[in-house]
Amino acid sequence: MCALAKPEDWEPIFEKRTVTFQTLMSKGKDEIRMDLIEARLKELERGPLLMKIKTALSLCKPAGDYSPVGGYKFDEKRIEEIDTKRHRIIHENTFGRALTGVEQDLEYLQQTVHFMLALVNHHYSVRISEYRLRMSALQSSAG
């Protein structure tokens, strides 16, 4: 959504990237920027959750007191711990080990989704909802 709403916001992320002279001559600035954004999104696709969130936070730059979700406070360490648990469950043999705090972790992740949606909506003056995102994902996987 951030890339669609205002692709130029991504430019600081790419300020140290280089492109070939041939690319520079054959494509315009906007096309090169979109190519770089698409490449970064592919990197983020399989990357850690915290990296994805940090990218969105760097694009939207919330004020220190920004709090659209009552009682929620973004916690990098907690996100990292939850993502590490998720990775272990999926990629390691965890059979026989008790899974603790799953409900609390899921609740925190749900609040994080609401926080991030509110942040993007506020920063870009758009209205995306969790429902629409789910419907879009369902349609993509069905087609």
Task: Give per-residue pLDDT as tens, 68-119.
Answer: 888 899 999 999 999 998 888 888 776 767 778 889 999 999 999 999 999 9
Structure token digits, residue 78 = 């907690």
Nearest to 50 by CA among 19, 13, 28, 75: 75
Task: Give per-residue pLDDT as tens, 25-80.
Answer: 999 999 999 999 999 999 999 899 999 999 999 999 988 888 888 889 999 999 99
The pTM is what? 0.79
pLDDT of res. 128: 79
Task: Give per-residue pLDDT as tens, 114-141.
Answer: 999 999 999 999 887 766 666 565 666 6
- Other Cβ atoms less than 10 A from the Cβ of 83: the count is 19
Q: What is the mean pLDDT of residues 10-16?
A: 92
> What is the 3-class SS of 30-88, one letter each residue?
HHHHHHHHHHHHHHHHCCCHHHHHHHHHHHHCCCCCCCCCCCCCCCHHHHHHHHHHHHH
Structure token digits, residue 44 = 């983020």
